[in-house]
Amino acid sequence: MEIKTDLYLGDCKTELKNLPDNSVDLIFTSPPYADQRKSTYGGIHPDKYVEWFLPLSEQLLRVLKPTGSFVLNIKERVTKGERSTYVMELILEMRKQGWLWTEEYIWHKKNSYPGKWPNRFRDSWERLLHFNKDKKFNMYQEEVMVPMGDWAKSRLKKLSDTDKTRDESKVGSGFGKNISNWLDREMAYPTNVLHLATECNNKNHSAAFPEGLPQWFIKLFTKEGDTVLDPFMG
């Protein structure tokens, strides 16, 4: 498959204005996190982060197609023993801006270093916030299906009568299940947790994510010939 790549050299605050309305199928990006890696990115204070990001997300909202998706890789840090709230504040303000917060995926970093602090343990996951302009958007779920695996060999061979019918949830949520629907299937839909190692080979970038991370979302939200935008260059 031939992939066409266009590179725009400049500040995304300026360059985004040159892109046409409703022209992008998927935005997948990881912006500088607040007050992290100041030597690389210059640093943005958590109290100023929402104010800094909203003009960017306004342009992203403009260039994204109504059928498109915006996946934002971001994680709040701990300062003076307390977790920052700027990511939650950003979500709320983006909703006011017109974004729909559809889902939250989790990237589990399988090879994170061990560590401990007086009041917490080392982070081994990051957020992938999924936003849309419209409730109806392109999503190709079959492209990211996974093998049933050992679960099918054990759990599905010991079905109770309850498992074979769509029973009511025991917690009163109104949702039920019919596990027997998966008896003869070799593939299943994945969860919203992605288990990927961090990128260790790119020595020229202080926080490069693994190629498998954008690849997974590109398969899920686009088809051949679609346009993918990363305003922060990976």
What pLDDT was estimated at residue 110? 85
The residue type at 202:
N
Whose tokens are 């504040």? That residue is 89
- Check: CB of residue 130 under 8 Å from CB of residue 102: yes
- DSSP letters spanning 68-109: EEEEEEE---EETTEE--HHHHHHHHHHHHT-EEEEEEEEEE
- Taking the domains of the chain in order of start, what are their residue ranges? 12-145+189-229, 148-188
What DSSP character marks residue 225? T
Residue 182, Cβ density class (10 Å: 0-12 exposed, 13-18 middle, ≥19 buried) = middle
Q: What is the pTM of this model?
A: 0.82
What pLDDT was estimated at residue 111? 81
Indicate the CATH number of 12-145+189-229 among 3.10.620.30, 3.40.50.300, 3.40.50.150, 3.90.79.10: 3.40.50.150
What pLDDT was estimated at residue 205? 47
Q: Which residues of the chain have pLDDT under 70?
A: 1-2, 35-42, 150-159, 161-183, 199-208, 234
For 80-102, write each residue's pLDDT tens digit: 888 889 999 999 999 999 999 99
Q: Count of alpha carbons within 13 Å of 166, Cβ hemisphere only?
A: 4
